[in-house]
Amino acid sequence: EIHLFFSFANKYKIENSHGQKVYYAVEYTNFCTRNCCGAYRPFTMRIFDNVGQEVITLKRPLRCSSCCFPCCLQKIEIQAPPGVPIGFVSQTCHPCLPKFTVQNGNREEVLKIIGPFILCSCGADIDFEITSLDEQTVVGKISKHWSGFVRELLTDTDFFRIQFPLDLEVNMKAVMLGACFLIVSLFLLNLVSAGLSGIILQ
């Protein structure tokens, strides 16, 4: 289980289930891209360990916003160490649900991710279920934690959680982290507001 805390500057603190900081992540993009593309912007996410060494790189290309055409489906590449692809997460075309396919470094399908029909966090967590390829067995989830009405309304901090099987191989855990960042950027953050308020990533 990994916890992610989002700050308005698009920097993330990543903790383990014991509350210990294990990584931090910084999104690299530019002000114009954020304002023009919003949730569909391309980015490079660099994930660092506690001594400042980059250990994972996430690369998301620019894609259009329609999920009705294969060329517009969203995807992200996970590299660990940087420059070495270990997995991919690609959006799957579906008329009603946000769905994704998780692949290993050989582009072999390993897991599926299925989101809810309605993406509303008012009073409850938003859960994206991690399932087997046949979608019959839930093996984990990616969640946006509901932190209460006052905190949701008055603060810029969001809290996300990734849960996956303990026996999942290390590379695939890193890929699931990449999946979380893709889902968060697409569905769980008000990125347009962040861009219009003049926030510049550092």
Q: How far apart (Å, rounded) are the C-alpha atoms in residues 5 and 147?
A: 12
2-196 CATH: 2.40.160.200
Structure tokens at 178: 């990449």
Q: Check if the beta carbon of residue 141 is closer than 8 Å to that of residue 128.
A: yes
Q: What is the pLDDT of residue 164?
A: 83
Q: What is the pLDDT along the chain (202 residues), one digit of tens a residue?
A: 555 555 444 778 888 877 788 888 888 877 677 667 777 788 899 999 999 999 999 999 887 665 555 556 889 999 999 999 999 999 988 878 889 999 999 999 999 999 887 766 666 778 899 999 999 999 999 887 765 544 444 445 567 888 887 788 989 999 999 998 898 888 755 433 332 221 111 2
* Domain locations in the chain as residue ranges: 2-196
Q: What is the pLDDT of residue 94?
A: 80
Q: What is the pLDDT of residue 139?
A: 92
